[in-house]
A = this chain, B = another copy of it.
């Protein structure tokens, strides 16, 4: 049998209430008593039983982390690294994270993660684009949640977002400063708030540097509603590169798309960056293994994960807080492709 709070109390010659107080750092306990109890706890390597504590406090001690299965299974590891950041942050607490995917054709009636059906979590982090019916369900059920890298028009939720606008702007500015004049944009999921912001950063930089006087640059824009992918990159590049005059740079809505762009450029016999520069967004691991190595905008997935956890905890502990959005800064990374 494992050691319980009773054993500790007995050895210390106090009641279990007192032990509980020092365990939870509540109320006043005589310093000497506290020290003694702490000593015994240490000595016996006592660990409070999670389930007993949970039962008494009416908390689950769990946090859910939900990703679309398509996002998780993608080659890129954006959301799994955010998970890692969150998992790392959680280590200092007494929370555990339950990672689940949710399928593309999600129906809250039947497809809710079990921990949501059974009330086994105190809150949920939603990574990236997720089914709106899920968000709605959480909202209605008053289950604390934070959106990561996503949002919905019309209502503001607790969320962690990247500074997409400034990241894109900085990338374009660097491109311009290195002499590029005809800069294209290729992107998927054009309705996605993050993509919109990246596009806005692109547009605004062009304006600010007078590179789109009469909408000349508009022919270098390729935007699709479907999920970002290599394929979109390839298709977009094919079209954009056939414009006259040919663009001398392409900014992609993310790295995966950029991979498609690069491979199309190369298969057309053009050189990167000599003929066309390419810049991505996200800095996923394989970006620096491309040839040439991809310039991109780095976002610290670990930071996002940590911040998501911190915000979620605040919401859980204080349910009436008004919704807030926290923006994580990003950084342009110059590599070989630009």
Known: A87-B100, A114-B91. A73 touches B81 (CB 8 A): yes
Verify if A11 is at the interface (C-beta below 8 Å from B): no
What residue in chain B is nearest A266 (Cβ atoms)? B291
Chain A interface residue count, CB cutoff 8 Å, equals 42
What residue in chain B is nearest A51 (Cβ atoms)? B54
Contacts of A98 in B (CB 8 A): 96-98
Interface residues of A in 280-312 (CB under 8 A from B): 285-286, 289, 291
Contacts of A271 in B (CB 8 A): none
Contacts of A325 in B (CB 8 A): none
Q: When each residue 68-80 of chain A gets 1 if its CB lies under 8 Å from chain B and 0 otherwise, what string results? A: 0100111101001
Instruction: Tell me the complex Cα distance, A55–B60, Å.
Output: 13
Contacts of A81 in B (CB 8 A): 73
Name A residues whose Cβ lies closer than 8 Å to a Cβ of B.
2, 47-52, 54-55, 60, 62, 69, 72-75, 77, 80-81, 83-84, 87, 91, 94, 96-101, 114-115, 117-120, 230, 263, 285-286, 289, 291
A-B contact pairs, 19 of them (CB 8 A): A2-B119, A47-B119, A49-B55, A50-B54, A50-B60, A50-B118, A51-B54, A52-B55, A69-B84, A72-B80, A73-B81, A75-B286, A87-B99, A87-B100, A87-B101, A96-B98, A97-B98, A99-B99, A286-B286
Seed contacts A50-B60, A51-B52; 10 additional CB < 8 Å A-B pairs: A50-B51, A50-B54, A51-B51, A51-B60, A73-B81, A75-B285, A75-B286, A84-B101, A96-B115, A263-B291
